[in-house]
Structure 1
Amino acid sequence: MPAPSATLRALTASAVMLLTVTGCQALDDAGRAMGRTDIVNDLAARMDRALELTYSAEYQLGGGQTALIAQDPARSAYEWPGGKLTVTAEATARCDTEGKRTVCTLHAPPAADSNPSTVVYAAAEREGLVTPPMVMGLLTAAGLDPGAVITQSGTTVAGLLATCVEVQQAVENFSACVTGEGALGSFTGRVDGEPVELALSRFQEQVDGATFELPQGAGIVDRRRAGS
């Protein structure tokens, strides 16, 4: 299994040193009580491992809309109402739908040694979307806030066991759950000042290959040769 990224290791270290957690202790797979440091390490390790897994996760958004995160070792996709991002060996594609017309802009694929999921998440965050790395960043930032109160609990999301945290801060409050598989189970908070809510509704350890294809009938703008 690949080693955790330098950024994730740094985030985890900061959270371990500074995070204040309240609430009931969690149990590890052997049934042992987990302390505060163990909980932070476990959440970070789950999400880091999940970047290498094959899975498809469907989410229910506020207002009844849906989103999808899908990945396998070589490809990744993030779909949301009106848009889609895909990263494959052929291209990095951004598709936007206005009315009945969908246009996809193709850019050069990422470097061969890049993780497709990491590339998709970075692009998704620029669109104001919630991603697992973003949630970990919010958690770490809360850990750096001496006034933050973080409560840990356990639950099930879409039939999967999950660890949840509720963060109360002077500036911003949020809650999030992470499944045992490392998928983002739920998030309620704000992104770029806008309220965001999502909850995992379906999780599969497989992906339909069509998920990584461009929408049928979409207009194509190919900028791969331009290198932009």
Structure 2
Amino acid sequence: MSAASTPLRVLTGSILAVLLLTGCQAIEDGSRVISRADLVNDLASRLDRATELTYSAEYQLTGGESASIAQTQEPLQAAYSYPGGKLTVSAEATTECQTAGPKPSCILDAPPAQTNRPSVTVFTNANKRGLVTPPVVIGLLTAAALDPNADIEQTDTTIAGRHATCVRVAGVDDAPTSQFNACVTAEGVLGQFTGTLDGNAVEMALSRYRNTVDGSVFELPSGATVIDQRPGTK
């Protein structure tokens, strides 16, 4: 896993420090006025806190398909399932599976330096197939916060029965997408995302949240061909 992966707490602190030095742009939502730094720092902190939770979240994707994110703390592991594929991250391996076709296949690679904070590069296939993960959203928020020309609006809503804070971002120059909408629940779970990543239009919304996890989500697909590419394995 790339050594470039940065813990979200450090990243969030860096965003805040830069913005406080360069000045903050006020964002008005009804009668409230908050700074860009406050907004980004709050959402980043919520997403970061979610890495310390045990939960499972189901999402409705464009076209009626579905995806899910699940993680536990003991043992520390996470699973991301999306149309045609699955990614699991644990202290033992980063495993990416292709589930489309007559026979699934999986590739085991080295685990990330921090199991609950893998590099965003491992989520490339998930992005292409409609599942945008919290680390990817953190990167987009970072780019928006550091762009003085970005237009950021805040709203509040309820998604799957849970309160969420949303941002609508537009006009970001140096980012994978110039505009997107993202919502984060009070627990810190990604509630909604709309945007374009890797040339694909993505629209996903939380449909169910639970603070329990079915252990089977971490298992490899039945009958999968497994290729182990971890260092020291044959």
TM-score range, shorter chain: 0.7 to 0.9
Aligned residue runs from structure 1 range 4-23, under 5 A: 5-14=9-18, 20-23=25-28
Distance 1:19 1:78 in 2: 35
> CA distance change for structure 1 residues 101 and 15 in 2, over 3 Å: closer, same or farther?
farther
Q: Could you tell me how far apart the structure 2 residues matched to 1:215 and 1:118 are?
A: 24
1:6 CA displacement: 2.0
How far 1:72 sits from its partner (Å)? 1.3
- Separation in 2, partners of 1:44, 1:126: 23
CA distance in 2, matches of 1:125, 1:167: 21
- Unaligned runs of 5+ residues in structure 2 are 1-6
CA distance in 2 between partners of 1:166 and 1:120 (Å)? 25
Q: Partner of 1:118 in structure 2?
A: 117
CA 1:170 to 1:224, structure 2 compared with 1: closer, same or farther past 3 Å? Answer: closer
Q: CA deviation at 1:46?
A: 0.8
Contact kept in structure 1, 2:15 and 2:142, CA below 8 Å: yes
SS of structure 2 residue aligned to 1:6: helix
What is the correspondence of 1:133-172 to structure 2 with a 5 Å cutoff?
133-169=135-171, 172=178
What SS does the aligned partner of 2:118 have? helix
2:112 counterpart of 1:95: no
In the aligned structure 1, how far is the partner of 2:140 from the partner of 2:79? 22
In the alignment, what sits opposite 2:204? 198
In structure 2, relative to structure 1, the CA distance for the partners of 1:59 and 1:18 (3 Å cut) is farther
What CA distance in whole angstroms lies between the structure 2 residues aligned with 1:60 and 1:15? Answer: 35
Amino acid at match of 2:156: G
**Does the 8 Å contact 1:15/1:40 carry over to 2?**
no
Alignment partner for residue 188 of structure 1, among 194, 218, 229?
A: 194
Is the 2:27–2:34 Cα contact (8 Å) retained in structure 1? no
Q: Which residue of 2 aligns with 1:50?
A: 50
* Compared CA separation, residues 66 and 15, structure 1 to 2 (3 A): farther
Q: SS of the counterpart of 1:23?
A: strand
- Of the structure 1 ranges 154-163 and 16-25, higher mean CA displacement relative to structure 2 is found in 16-25
Residue 131 of structure 1, CA deviation: 1.8
SS in 2 for 1:35: strand
Distance, in Å, in 2 between the alignment partners of 1:200 and 1:100 is 29
Whole-angstrom distance in 1 between the partners of 2:19 and 2:125: 24
Q: Residues 135 and 91 of structure 1: is their aligned pair in 2 closer, same or farther, counting only changes over 3 Å?
A: closer
The answer to whether structure 1 residue 223 and structure 2 residue 222 are counterparts is no
Tell me the distance in 2 between the aligned counterparts of 1:220 and 1:105.
Answer: 6
Q: CA RMSD in A?
A: 2.6
Q: Distance in 1 between matches of 2:11 and 2:155?
A: 26
Higher mean alpha-carbon deviation, 44-53 vs 217-226, is at 217-226
Instruction: Tell me how far 1:221 sits from its aligned partner.
Output: 1.6
Per the alignment, do residues 205 and 153 of structure 1 end up closer, same or farther by CA in structure 2, a change over 3 Å counting?
Answer: same
Among all aligned residue pairs of Structure 1 and Structure 2, give the percentage whose two residues are the same amino acid.
49
Report SS of the residue matched to 2:193.
Answer: strand
